[in-house]
Amino acid sequence: MRFELAVDDSFFISSTQIGKIELKDLISTLKPIQKRRLSNFSKLAIGALLNLDERLLEDEDWELVFASRHGDFHKTSELLTSLANKESLSPSGFSLSVHNAVAGMYSIFMQKKVPITSIAAGKEGLFAALTDAYIRLSSKQVNKVVVVLVDQSLPEPFQQYSDEQQNDYALAMVLSNIEDTHTAHPHTLSFTRDVQFTASNGDSPAIPIEFAKWLKTSQAQLHLSGQKQSWTVERLNS
């Protein structure tokens, strides 16, 4: 399997930037009543989306793909603790813990009436999100697809089960077809699924972090491995 995509804009934040960039600054354009509903996970996701260049989406048909391996698992962990202690669950806490809640809040807060896909694909979240975006763009029904990938370090009781480095991060991208001659693409990339699968190291960073860091370099090629797939990413405009 091979496909090509253009990355017209991207925003990335990880644990190394958090602290230098305050989460509250990422969502400074939201109303106070909206900010109060957001967990750190939600701030990461919505903040990354708010830092994309909106001019790229003006007068465009676009859709949103949200992907996360664990979702807002800190909120889920709190609910599980309440259940274990035989306490009543918070209705708002439950409603905001579901996987597509953050994407829904972004749509409501920003009044973006766009189709949304919510993906949970383990370590393969980046591959699944990009494949989904490519299919949508290839259908010619939309000109742009916005992809956001977000995760947090697991809560302390669950870190013993982790199989990758634990970091908070959010990566948001505006994607389009390479054939779109009206847009000057900063990055044009090809994605090829490798025939031979090479399992990832259990101590390796999350795949979206590796990809986001590579995107800022001039390296021509990147190899990424998840739980079931290996992919090679190549620059077409290097």
Region of 111 on the Ramachandran plot (φ > 0 left; ψ -120 to 50 alpha; else beta): left
Asked if 72 and 147 count as a contact pair (C-beta separation under 8 A), the reply is no
How many Cα atoms sit within 13 Å of 54 on the Cβ side? Answer: 5
Distance CA 168, CA 8 (A): 24
pLDDT of 20 strictly over 60: no
Amino acid 5: pLDDT:
96
* This prediction's pTM: 0.90
Amino acid 25: pLDDT:
81
Q: Which of 110-119, 153-162, 225-234 has the lowest mean pLDDT?
A: 153-162
Q: Which CATH architecture has domain 7-184?
A: 3-Layer(aba) Sandwich (3.40)
pLDDT of 231 strictly over 70: yes
Map out the domains of the chain as residue ranges. Answer: 7-184
User: Mean pLDDT score of the chain, rounded to an integer?
Assistant: 88
Query: Comparing C-alpha atoms, which of 167, 161, 194, 190 is closest to residue 14?
Result: 167
